[in-house]
Amino acid sequence: MKRFLPLSILILAVLAIVATLLPPRNPAEYDLVAFSRLPTLVNGRIKPLDTVARTSLLMLQGRQRVTAPNGRTITPTEWLLDVLYRPEVANAYPTFEIDNPDVLALLNLTAEDGFGVGKNRFTFDKVQKGLPELERQSKLADAVESAVRTPFQKAVIQLRESIVLYQSLQVSLLPPNDDHYLEQLATFNATVPAGLAAVAAQHSGKAPDMSAAKVILGLSDTAATLESLGYLRVIPPQNRPTDPMGWGNAGAALRQSLDHGKLDPALAFYAQLGLAWRGYQPATFNTLVHDYRAGLDRSIPSLMSKCDTEARFNSAEPFYTSMMIYVVAFLVAVFSWLKWPDELGRAAFRLVLLAWILATVGIGIRMWLEGRPPVTNLYSSALFVGWVAVALCLVLERLYRNAIGSVTAGLVGFSTLLIAHHLALGGDTLEMMRAVLDSNFWLATHVVTVTVGYAATFLAGFLALLYVIRGVFTKSLDKATADSLARMVYGIVCFATLFSFIGTVLGGIWADQSWGRFWGWDPKENGALIIVLWNALILHARWGGLVKQRGLMNLAIFGNIVTSWSWFGVNMLGVGLHSYGFMDAAFWWLLAFVASQVLLILVGSVPLAKWRSFSSQSPA
């Protein structure tokens, strides 16, 4: 049993990964998977509809799964189809998460109206009645500077943004309250030329066919509405379809179709698809999708393969699987301290390696999709901090083989992926880079190096946490383990000093190259500098003999506070050239983290005689 344990754990984990990589299956006879891979331009990037469905749901309700009122679970793609083509059905899905009690009161909603475990998910039908009042309140809140808004005002604005997103998604293909629109498009090529002739006749003073002309006027109005409000730019341009500037929404395509008297083929496809979806005709639906897709494969093959990869990447959720394996690895590694250290230790190491490889592949795919270095926003920085820290842990574990590296890897890997998961709630994480950041050279050098510095400083802090927790609360921290931990922390602090210093310097050079000054005391610059200074302080205190092993550990734990401040804290100040990602929900988490670290430093400051590991022996 003992001999086969590492191998069987590894095989189980590999099987779990393989299961996520299998092609997603369609729940019913509709080929939703093929539909979900169709391309659209949203927020400056051409992406599969699958990504739009998932990120919209994350923004509306913080998760990708939708449960219909009858209890059936709906995939994001199915939800998107209903939002686009069957508004009356979609409006009855509980997809608005509202937690603020004052906002609920404002909309006359109670928990009885809500769905889900927390009774905090509401349907558009229920929310709709309160929209005028919501609009009024959000106008009041708009006037308040974002930093000083009350929780109620923030919740109002957030809900208003959700509603706007939902409604503009809904008018991507269908105009509101028009039952004949799709039928009109279906007969477009037959009826519209006559209508255009009638309009021309009207202009030249001849007796026009009034009913035919009326159709054209109606369609022009619809085109104007859809063009100004529609969210999805699903229509590829006829010439140069790879240039994102040419992609338009359905309204623009309808306007151009009216000009030419001939329906745009992509618009025709989406109209027929709507009829098939509304009419419950899976066979027609599938044929339409496959034919349209075949055309795209001919005109934009490279974009389509990117969309396919992205949709597969979405459904495989590699970071989620990786996060789960880190948890298992952590538990296995901790158990290895109690029993079967060799076998379980090896199993934990392999699990960490597996999870890390998975994360590597995930980060690699993101880089390929985006055409960017690994760190472009807060979300990807969380992924990358975890990746670097775990890589260092793997090295430590290879050197020391005492499961400390694996335990820390499990802990850091899990925490950073959890942070990343929460940062992803803001929408699509493959964003376009704002002008000043649009430089792959500096993103690849300065940003990556600084992030490696963050990761190493965190790692030193987490290793020190292990030292304190094991030393104070257990008897397991013998002299050899304590010494090896001290060497690890010291080595990682050296590594962190080097990288955070070089990263900060590269930032200065970037600033000098693009702004003409090396150092401007901007909050983010200061945050990076404080990390360098703190690491330098640890090293000097150690060299000067001002701290011994335990002092080193406490200083390293404080490094966690310093790094989290620089990583997230300065963004919350909302000032400076670097403040691109302002977040406030995370503020309380940051505070809680800082408090926990202070608490552990206090625990670490308990006299060594009180430490369970040291009470029976002479202090280390």
Partner 1 sequence: MPTLLRDLRDLLVSLKLTVLLIVFSIVLILAATIDQVNLGIWAVQEKYFHTFVVFWKIGNVSLAVFPGGYTIGGLLLINLLGAHFYRFKLTWRKTGIWLAHAGLILLLVGQLLTGLWQDEFQLRLDQGQSKNYAESYRNVELVLTDTTDPKFDEVVAIPEKPLARLETVQHPKLPFRVAVKTYFPNATLAMRGPMQPADPSAPATQGVGPQVLATLQPLTYKQDERNIPAAYIELIGPDGSLGTWLVSPLLDEPQRFAFAGRNWKIALRFVRSYQPYTLTLLKFSHDRYAGTDIPKNFSSRIRLTTPDGRDDREVLIYMNNPLRYAGMTFYQAGFENNDQTTVLQVVRNPSWLIPYIACALMTVGLLIQFGIHLTGFFARRRVVAA
* Interface residues toward partner 1, by CB under 8 A: 41-45, 233, 244-247, 399, 431-432, 434-436, 438-439, 442, 487, 491, 494-495, 497-498, 501-502, 505, 508-510, 512-523, 526-527, 529-530, 533-534, 536-537, 540-541, 543-544, 546, 570, 573-576
Q: Which is nearer to partner 1, 62 or 246 (CB)?
A: 246
Q: Which is nearer to partner 1, 282 or 581 (CB)?
A: 581
Residues 421, 359 contacting (CB under 8 angstroms): no
Q: How far is CA 328 from the centre of its chain?
A: 23
Q: Which is nearer to partner 1, 194 or 530 (CB)?
A: 530
CA-CA distance, 503 to 509, in Å (whole number)?
10
The HSE-up count of residue 153 (CA atoms within 13 Å, CB side) is: 13
At its nearest, how many Å lie between partner 1 and the CB of residue 262? 24
At its nearest, how many Å lie between partner 1 and the CB of residue 387? 22
Q: Which is nearer to partner 1, 381 or 571 (CB)?
A: 571
Collapsed DSSP state (helix, strand, coil) of residue 197: helix
Q: How many CB atoms lie within 10 A of CB 488?
A: 26
Residues 592, 581 contacting (CB under 8 angstroms): no
Residues 492, 459 contacting (CB under 8 angstroms): yes
Q: Which is nearer to partner 1, 122 or 247 (CB)?
A: 247
407-438: b (≥16 Cβ within 10 Å) or e: bbbbbbbbbbbbbbbebbebebbbbebeeebe
Of 468, 474, 455, 619, the closest CA to residue 554 belongs to 468
Q: Which residues pair with residue 184 across a beta bridge?
A: none
At its nearest, how many Å lie between partner 1 and the CB of residue 570? 7
At its nearest, how many Å lie between partner 1 and the CB of residue 47? 12
At its nearest, how many Å lie between partner 1 and the CB of residue 515? 5
Q: How far is CA 27 from CA 31, 78, 316, in A?
A: 9, 10, 16
At its nearest, how many Å lie between partner 1 and the CB of residue 35? 21
Residues 350, 342 contacting (CB under 8 angstroms): no
The span from the first CA to the last CA of the chain, in angstroms, equals: 38
CA-CA distance, 243 to 232, in Å (whole number)?
16
At its nearest, how many Å lie between partner 1 and the CB of residue 523? 5
At its nearest, how many Å lie between partner 1 and the CB of residue 445? 13
Residues 6+ apart with CB under 8 A from 617: 479
Q: Which is nearer to partner 1, 82 or 431 (CB)?
A: 431
Of 572, 569, 500, the closest CA to residue 534 belongs to 500
At its nearest, how many Å lie between partner 1 and the CB of residue 159? 22
At its nearest, how many Å lie between partner 1 and the CB of residue 439? 5
**Which ranges of 476-548 would DSSP assign to H, the alpha helix?**
479-515, 523-543
Please give the torsion angle defined by the CA atoms of residues 146, 151, 156 and 159, in that order, rounded to the nearest 10 degrees: 100
CA-CA distance, 459 to 462, in Å (whole number)?
5
Residue with tokens 């475990």: 117
Residues 6+ apart with CB under 8 A from 205: none
Residues 120, 104 contacting (CB under 8 angstroms): no
At its nearest, how many Å lie between partner 1 and the CB of residue 399? 8
Q: Which is nearer to partner 1, 379 or 534 (CB)?
A: 534
Q: How far is CA 106 from CA 59, 121, 126, 372, in A?
A: 21, 16, 12, 44
Of 471, 616, 612, 484, the closest CA to residue 550 belongs to 471
Q: Which is nearer to partner 1, 43 or 281 (CB)?
A: 43
Q: Which is nearer to partner 1, 201 or 494 (CB)?
A: 494
Q: Which is nearer to partner 1, 99 or 512 (CB)?
A: 512
Q: Which is nearer to partner 1, 45 or 278 (CB)?
A: 45
At its nearest, how many Å lie between partner 1 and the CB of residue 137? 24
At its nearest, how many Å lie between partner 1 and the CB of residue 541? 5
At its nearest, how many Å lie between partner 1 and the CB of residue 142? 17
Q: Which residues pair with residue 74 across a beta bridge?
A: 66
Q: Which is nearer to partner 1, 387 or 495 (CB)?
A: 495
Q: Which is nearer to partner 1, 270 or 442 (CB)?
A: 442
Helix axis angle, 5-21 to 318-336, nearest 10°: 170
Both tokens assigned to 329: 């690895």
Q: Which is nearer to partner 1, 67 or 225 (CB)?
A: 225
Residues 486, 572 contacting (CB under 8 angstroms): no
